Amino acid sequence: MKIAILSAMEEELIPLLETLKDYESINYANNTYYTAKYKNHDLILAYSKIGKVNSTLSASIMIEKFKAEVLLFTGVAGSFNEKLKIGDLIIASKVVQYDLDITAFGHPLGFVPGNEIFVKTDTKLNNLALDIAKNLNIKLLQGIIATGDEFICDENKKAKIRQIFNADACDMEGANVVLVCNALNVPCLLLRAISDNAGEKAEFDFDEFLVKSAKISANFIFKICDRL
């Protein structure tokens, strides 16, 4: 199977490449893509760079140019749910872009014509991840991840997004990648390890726990590849 593994930042990709050791790099569209063999799979890996536009571009390239059949997104997120502590894992059951705002025209936040507010991820991949976590006795929550082009480190913004969308975590790339996969009929799993609590001083927690949380997410991604 040809599997795309995408992250947003180099720190999230490095644990994957360190595990693989043997890989080739391809420069394309102002980014670097890595190809490798893993057991019976052909992997294509990349870090998109931060933000919705960058990750949309990378996800599209992985599917359209490199012909990925499945896309796994690994990385970190901020917690909106008190049950999620730093280092815990979450997969998205569905995603939402919290900063899509045409409320001036009477539409709800997160909605634009032609799209649903919430986009679902792949049920089979989610169930596979939950089964792996159960077998390994790993805490894994399934919930809603809200995406926007902003690092949330403000308690009031966090509370607003949580209230409107019932979001469990936030990131800066996930929802649009899921939207790309949904449009192109490619199964997608969005896996995040919690790096901060998305509130006051979240930026300091993020810097401290980024690498550790990224490794936790990357290790779990390989467990999923083992079962695909």
Angle at 210 between CA 204 and CA 216, to 5 degrees: 145
Of 12, 88, 122, 171, which one is the catalytic site residue?
12
Q: Could you write out the DSSP letters of every residue in 110-170?
A: T--TTS-SEEE--HHHHHHHHHHHHHHT--EEEEEEEE-SS----HHHHHHHHHHH--SEE
| Catalytic residue of the set 88, 122, 196, 205 | 196
The two structure tokens encoding residue 41: 């799979």
| Residue 168 annotated among the catalytic residues of the structure | no
Q: Which residue has the tokens 């490095």?
A: 14
DSSP letter assigned to residue 174: H
CA nearest 110: which of 146, 141, 162? 146
The pairing of strands 24-28 and 70-73 is unpaired
For residue 64, indicate whether it is catalytic: no
Q: Which residues are catalytic?
A: 12, 196
